[in-house]
Amino acid sequence: MRRGSLIQLAALAAVAAGICIAVALAIPWLPEAAGKEAQRIDLVFWFTTAIAIAVFSVVAAVITYSVWKFRARPDDDSDGPPVHGHTGLEIAWTAVPALLVTAISIMSAVVLAQNSNAGSNPVKIGVLGRQFAWSFTYPNGKTYGFLELPVNRKTQLDITSDDVIHSFWVPQLSQKQDAVPGQHNKLVVTPIKTGTFPVICTELCGLGHSLMRSHVTIVSQADFAKFLKGGASSGPAGLAVFQQFGCGGCHTLKSAGATGTTGPDLDKLKQDATQAHRGSLTAFIKQSIVDPGAYVQPGYQNGVMPTTFGQQIPADKLSQLVQYLAQNGK
Ligand code: CUA
């Protein structure tokens, strides 16, 4: 190949690479990394992207060059020149991709091993998925509907489910882990930034799936220690139950900041109870929780509200929840 052609090829490759690099850098493709694991995953992502851009640029340059230099003239009906294989080229285009793919596998294996290393003394937090809410159990035995993590320390999440398969995901921490009934999947996170980020269910798990969200607050180690000592105020006892069992995933309740619309609006409970003619307000609320099929508010479908809350919510917590809802309803 002549020197001039090589320069033209290189110029085409540079143009293709320039466009790809501009697109890669101008758009914020990844959420900010709030954990060490996320940083490592981003590194693998960018390493793979850089290789992809390099390969694409070479291929795009060769194709463009061929279309431009070797196209047939409109009146040219002759046969093309006989071309034989090129052993050197064939070895190169087999060996180079093999090396690149091997490099990606080695890097991924190293990152996977680092990311699943919980170290000798991680904070341990239990994560439970349930239609349609997350609950988190801390080393002090307390359970809340939100996740709180200390910065710059490894935390090992023990993830499981009460009913169907859910999947735990915090975009800023990068990793996803399935919550499977009867199985305890582990996930190690090492936050590096304080702040509040969303916790999302990323496995289609039923009607309330899109609302199965919570949040993670990453705080200093001192604040986390305070939180474990019970310093965090979680409001009225009934509100904690409401959050723990994820009622807000499907229902609206202003005082709890819940905006779900899959089930009836709980700010209208008194009105609905009057309409339902089913005894006192508290009796109506209790029955609606433990036996949701007994009376279904007009406009809503039977069978959407899980029938398992009667067994899941301990009696004392159930009465706290009923009292809380009765006080809130209009
Ligand atoms: Cu739980 Cu989707």
Rounded Cα gap, residues 141 and 125, in angstroms: 10
The minimum-distance atom of ligand 1 relative to the CA of 202 is 2
pLDDT digits (tens, 9 = 90+) for 183-240: 999 999 999 999 989 999 999 999 889 888 888 999 999 999 998 987 555 566 788 7
Could you tell me the two tokens for 1?
A: 């190949």
Q: CATH code for 123-230?
A: 2.60.40.420
pTM to 2 decimal places: 0.71
- Give the DSSP per-residue string, 70-114: SPPPTT--SPPPP----HHHHHHHHHHHHHHHHHHHHHHHHHHHH
pLDDT, position 213: 87
Quick one: angle between helices 315-328 and 237-244, nearest 10? 110
Measuring from atom 1 of ligand 1, which residue has the nearest CA?
Answer: 166
Distance 297 CA to ligand 1 centre (A): 24
Q: For 237-328, which CATH superfamily applies?
A: Cytochrome c-like domain (1.10.760.10)
| Mean pLDDT taken over the chain | 89
Flag the least confident range among 8-17, 156-165, 167-176, 204-213: 204-213
Q: Where are the domains of the chain?
A: 3-64+90-115, 123-230, 237-328
The minimum-distance atom of ligand 1 relative to the CA of 129 is 1
Work out the pLDDT band at 329, boundaries 50, 70, 90: low
* pLDDT exceeds cutoff 80 at 328: no
**Residue 245's closest CA among 318, 156, 139?**
318
Work out the pLDDT band at 54, boundaries 50, 70, 90: very high
Work out the pLDDT band at 314, boundaries 50, 70, 90: confident
Non-local (6+) Cβ contacts of 188 within 8 A are 37, 115, 116, 117, 118, 122, 154, 155, 156, 157
Flag the least confident range among 73-87, 123-137, 236-250, 285-299: 236-250
Placement of tokens 């009867």 in the chain: 182
Distance 20 CA to ligand 1 centre (A): 36
pLDDT, position 109: 97
Mean pLDDT value across residues 82-111: 94
Kindly report the length of the chain: 330
pLDDT, position 307: 83
Mean pLDDT value across residues 156-174: 96
The minimum-distance atom of ligand 1 relative to the CA of 205 is 2
Q: Which residues line ligand 1 (CB under 6 A)?
A: 129, 132, 166, 201, 203-205, 209, 212
Q: Where does residue 141 rank: exposed (0-12), middle (13-18), buried (19+ CB within 10 A)?
A: exposed
Placement of tokens 């819940």 in the chain: 258
